[in-house]
Chains A and B, each alone.
Chain A
Amino acid sequence: MNLALSDEQQLFADGIGRFLEKRYAFEHRRQMVAEQRWGDPAIWSALAELGCFGIAVPETAGGFGGGSVEIGLMMRALGRHLAIEPVAAAVVAGTLLGGTEGADDLIEALIGGEMRLAPCFDLVCGVSGVSGSARSLAGGHAAHGLLAACEQSLHLVDPADVRVTPVPLLDDTIGVDVVAEDAPSRRLEVGADWPRHRALAIARGQLARAWQALGVLEGALDATTAYMRERRQFGRPLGAFQTIQHRVAEMTVAAKEAEVAAMLGALVLDAAGPGADAERALSAATGRIAAASAIVAETAVQLHGGMGVSDELDISARFRHLQAFRFRAEAVEQPVERYAEAVVASGAHHHSAVLVEA
């Protein structure tokens, strides 16, 4: 057990952080959102050069073989800068492709940033083609291909062969609604360990969104403490009032809890692989980051006063992202229900969450 970041992990995180600090201006983001764009192709290429799309692909498949911690650090930096580009979708896609044979062309294009893929777990892969529907699919608007990750197989579907309707989402990204009826597809070869790869991809998607929310809420906390030091009312800085201090402290505690929750999810997933332990850790992480998101988002807007409810600062965008994370998590991942039925029902919660057997 080792709880310090390795030098490589630190360098990777610092590199992405520095790049976004320099290149990801909020004004530019505002313009992209107003024009309902998926993101910035130049940023996408630069993220590819930084290694962001190969991190989830095993080295044996031509990727950089990163684990949950690398994925988490990357998503946290993207969240801090409120990046709208669908990097979480690329993480899931990279993990799925890592379980295939003979898809080297796709992997290379994914890692190089030439091909954006939107993974989808809701479609059915039948003998006559891919069918079914998905709502609010992340990354779909930007995608050159849909990856239908079915229980037994993986299919690449050309978006031109299905009905795709863009939908603006609460977090300022563009999702799509997909309807497929016996769509043609390229069937990718998967091995006997496909169910494990698919489960890992689902887990990493959940993990990526959680770490991204962490970055968004840490940014909201920092912006709020800075504003409380600067903004003066009644002849003194707002931060001099005890009622403000206590609310900022509650945000600080929530952000700390969110940080260790994200670590718990990442470290257990890396230690134990997809399975019961990881599901427990990810449910706890998602549930507690959702709770922290509510505290941080609502307090950040409240303490910013009029500026918090305007679109002048990035606070309102952070609020929207964090609430979107919560609503989606509570409806789709249902962390409390899952924990109750999988962990409490089995009694696993009577044992340590961190001292897991590898």
Chain B
Amino acid sequence: MDLVLDADQRRFRDEVRAFLQDALTDGLRAGQSRVIGVYPEPDVSLAWQRKLFERGWAAPTWPVEHGGTGWTALQRFIFECECAQAGAPLLYPIGIRLVAPVIMAFGSPEQQARWLPRILSGEDYWCQGFSEPGAGSDLGSLSTRAVRDGDEYVINGSKMWTTHAHHANRMFALVRTREAERPSDGISFVAIDLDTPGVEIRPIISIGGDHDVNQVFLSDVRIPAENLIGEENRGWVYAKYLLEFERGYGLFSGRLRASLRRAEAALKAPATPAQRRRIAEVAMELDVFEMLELSVVGTLPNGAAPGPVSSVLKLRASRLKQAVTQLGVELLGADGVRRVEGSPGNILVTDYLNARAATIFGGAAEVQLGIIAKALGGL
């Protein structure tokens, strides 16, 4: 067991640094520094994705045959760490990191050929149709229905809290295709083109005052049956697979450290001893979380799902996001109540407000605790 980078690993890190030096513009950095929601706006993230795509680095988690880098988990860790350190935009993960593993594992070769290259290039921008007005933490009780009609499905219902649906051209969605004794048994996993007639997207304004999420209404939306991913009524299995990637496959420690730097940069005077103590408390948690990510994600074989420990990662990452953003507002002192549009202080306040969602989306903290107790505690 040792932490020392060997010659190959150092060479790789230097290669990443050289690329960042060359490709990362001030404009892209500034775009990332203004992020107040979960992801940057597409003009920022897609501009960066195109540069990575040209370099062949847009999908560090994908195998080579689909256009991924084929990197080891450790290389990916180094890559994410260097990108965050340099202030590079966060890549929009819904396509690359969430739906793509499902398409690779359960989609047909035709679906893989149709969707994966366009996810990689950024031509397609996916959103995630899981939650509904009546199905949040109890996702299995969802009621959006898909009825088979010839070689089509007709979909009716609505999806809630759909992040970036207003930017997306495709949505993957969980829909009910059968009434079953166990609600989760009758669910299927489908892809919906958002320009299909009957799709209506309405904004939901967040606690921070901005527009990140939406409600998506689906009224007699007809999709071709070939948009079914995997087998009918097996969607819950694919959703759980996806959620492991959502919860335990991101590498957040570098991003959290960047948030901490941003929070400290807004200080008008050098930090007082009391402020340094508060910063230390958060930074110590962050150091240990970084080791947690490295030891869990950094040792996974490329493309492998992390398993139930992903709930520990999700819980820690979401609580740390809240701790870092709360520190940001604390450091503003009395100015933490000012909301002057575009000011550095308001970015921190908005980020703090929106970070409350971190322990709710992707399975609320209470859901994660339940999974941890059962899967890791044997209760």
Contacts and interface: CB of A to CB of B under 8 A. Distances in A.
Interface of A: 1-6, 9, 69, 225, 228-229, 239-240, 242, 244-246, 248-250, 252-253, 256-257, 260-261, 263-264, 266-268, 270-271, 280-281, 283-285, 287-288, 335-337, 339-341, 343-345, 349-356, 358
B369 interface: yes
Given A1-B6, A228-B379, A339 B280 contact: yes
Nearest to A4: B1
B291 A260 contact: yes
Contact of A264 (B264, B281, B288, B316): B288
B150 interface: no
B306 to A, nearest CB: 13
B277 A336 contact: yes
A15 B7 CA distance: 34
Nearest to A225: B377
Nearest to A289: B288
Contacts of A1: 2-6, 9, 74
B210 interface: no
19 contacts: A2-B2, A69-B1, A249-B377, A252-B312, A264-B288, A270-B2, A271-B2, A271-B3, A284-B283, A284-B284, A335-B284, A344-B276, A349-B280, A350-B257, A353-B290, A354-B294, A355-B3, A355-B78, A358-B4
Contacts of B295: 3, 260, 263
What 3 A-B pairs have minimum CB-CB distances, sorted nearest first?
A245-B373, A353-B287, A239-B379
Contacts of A281: 287
Given A239-B379, A246-B366, A340-B279, A260 B288 contact: yes
A267 B4 CA distance: 9
Interface in B261-293: 261, 264, 271, 273, 276-277, 279-281, 283-292
Given A3-B299, A267-B2, A355-B78, A252 B280 contact: no
A39 to B, nearest CB: 29
B85 A253 contact: no
B3 A288 contact: no
Contacts of B78: 355
B6 A253 contact: no
Contact of A260 (B1, B85, B276, B292): B292
A345 B276 contact: yes
Contact of B288 (A3, A244, A284, A344): A284
A347 to B, nearest CB: 9
B246 to A, nearest CB: 18
B46 interface: no
B323 interface: no
B372 A9 contact: no
Given A242-B370, A249-B377, A256-B312, A283 B3 contact: no
Given A4-B1, A351-B85, A285 B288 contact: yes
Q: Is chain B's interface secondary structure helix, strand, loop, or mixed overall?
A: helix
Contact of B373 (A69, A246, A268, A280): A246
A349 B287 CA distance: 8
Nearest to A221: B377
A314 B144 CA distance: 53
A227 to B, nearest CB: 11
Interface in B287-318: 287-292, 294-295, 298-299, 309, 312, 315-316
A228 B373 CA distance: 11
Contact of A349 (B4, B279, B288): B279
B369 A284 contact: no
Nearest to A287: B284
B276 A288 contact: no
B313 to A, nearest CB: 9
A241 B261 CA distance: 41
A253 B373 contact: no
A349 B9 CA distance: 22
A5 B379 contact: no
Q: Is chain A's interface secondary structure helix, strand, loop, or mixed overall?
A: helix
A4 B2 CA distance: 8
B353 interface: no
Contacts of B377: 225, 228, 239, 245, 248-249, 252
A124 B3 CA distance: 37
Which of B85, B264, B279, B284 gathers the greatest number of chain A CB atoms within 10 Å?
A: B284
Interface in B336-379: 366, 368-370, 372-374, 376-379
B81 interface: yes
B260 interface: yes
Given A253-B316, A256-B312, A245 B81 contact: no
Nearest to A264: B291
B106 to A, nearest CB: 30
B284 A249 contact: no
Nearest to A288: B288
Contact of A353 (B273, B281, B291): B291
Contacts of A353: 286-287, 290-291
Nearest to A285: B288
B367 to A, nearest CB: 11
B370 A339 contact: no
Contacts of B292: 256-257, 260
Contacts of B235: none
Contacts of B37: none
B254 interface: yes
Contact of A344 (B9, B280, B298, B370): B280
Contacts of B309: 256
Which of B2, B285, B309, B374 gathers the greatest number of chain A CB atoms within 10 Å?
A: B2
B372 A252 contact: yes
A249 B257 contact: no
A338 B325 CA distance: 23
B277 A337 contact: yes
A245 B2 contact: no
Nearest to B378: A225
A67 B197 CA distance: 66
Contacts of B85: 351-352
Given A248-B377, A256-B312, 8 more contacts: A225-B377, A252-B373, A257-B288, A257-B292, A260-B292, A284-B284, A340-B280, A351-B257
